[in-house]
Chains A and B, each alone.
Chain A
Amino acid sequence: MTIQERVKKILLVDDDFDLLEQNKLLLESRGFTVVTADSGSAGFETFKKEMPDAAIVDLIMEEHDAGFVLCHRIKGTKYGKRIPVLMLTSATYDTGFKFGAGTDEEKEWIKCDGILNKPVIVEELLTKLEDFFE
Chain B
Amino acid sequence: MEDRNPYILIVDDERGLRLGTQRLLQSEDFTVDTAENGTEGILLGTRNDYDLAIIDMKMPDIDGLEVLKEIKKARPNTVCFIATAFASYDTAIEATRIGAYSYIPKPFTPEELLHQLEKGYNQRVLTIEAEKLRKEREERLLELASEQSRLKTIINSISGGVLVVNKSGEVVYFNNAALKNLNLDSLTIGQYILDKIPEKATEIVSGFIDGATAENLTKSIQIELIKDTLFVEIICSTVLNNDSSFAGVVLIIRNITEMKKIELVKSQFVSMVAHELKTPVAAVQGFLKIILDDSIPITEDQQREYLSRSVGRLQGLLDLVNDLLDISRMELKTKQRELGSLRLKEILESTVQFLKFECEHKNIQVISGIPDNLPVLHADHNELTRLFTNIISNAIKYNIENGKIFITVTEEKHYLVIAISDTGIGLKEEDRKKLFHEFFRAKNEKTRGISGTGLGLTIVQRIVDSYHGKITVESEYGKGSTFKIYLPKTNK
Q: Which residues of chain A have a CB within 8 Å of any CB of chain B? A: 15-19, 22-23, 25-26, 29, 38-39, 60-62, 90-91, 94-97, 118-119
Cα A90 to Cα B275 in complex, Å, equals 7
How far apart are B440's CB and chain A's nearest CB, in angstroms?
10
Contact indicator per residue, chain B 270-302, by CB within 8 Å of chain A (1) or not (0): 110011001100110111011001011110000
Contact (Cβ within 8 A) B267 A96? yes
- What are 5 sample pairs from A and B whose C-beta atoms fall under 8 A apart? A16-B279, A18-B287, A22-B286, A91-B275, A119-B286
Contact (Cβ within 8 A) B275 A95? yes
> Which residues of the partner chain B approach A61 to less than 8 Å between Cβ atoms?
443
Q: Which residues of chain B have a CB within 8 Å of any CB of chain A? A: 267-268, 270-271, 274-275, 278-279, 282-283, 285-287, 289-290, 293, 295-298, 309, 313, 443-445, 448-449
Contact (Cβ within 8 A) B443 A15? yes
Cα A96 to Cα B290 in complex, Å, equals 29
CB < 8 Å neighbour of A96 from B268, B286, B293, B448: B268
How far apart are A97's CB and chain B's nearest CB, in angstroms?
6
Cα A38 to Cα B282 in complex, Å, equals 17
- The secondary-structure label for the interface of chain B is helix
A18-B287, A25-B290 known; A96 vs B282 contact (CB < 8 Å): no
Cα A97 to Cα B271 in complex, Å, equals 7
Contact (Cβ within 8 A) A17 B449? yes
Contact (Cβ within 8 A) A18 B283? yes
A29-B295, A29-B296 known; A22 vs B274 contact (CB < 8 Å): no
> Which residues of the partner chain B approach A25 to less than 8 Å between Cβ atoms?
290, 296, 298
Shortest Cβ distance from A66 into B: residue: B443
Cα A118 to Cα B278 in complex, Å, equals 9
Cα A23 to Cα B283 in complex, Å, equals 10
A61-B443, A95-B275, A95-B278 known; A19 vs B283 contact (CB < 8 Å): yes
> Which residues of the partner chain B approach A95 to less than 8 Å between Cβ atoms?
271, 274-275, 278
Cα A43 to Cα B103 in complex, Å, equals 122
Shortest Cβ distance from B444 into A: residue: A62
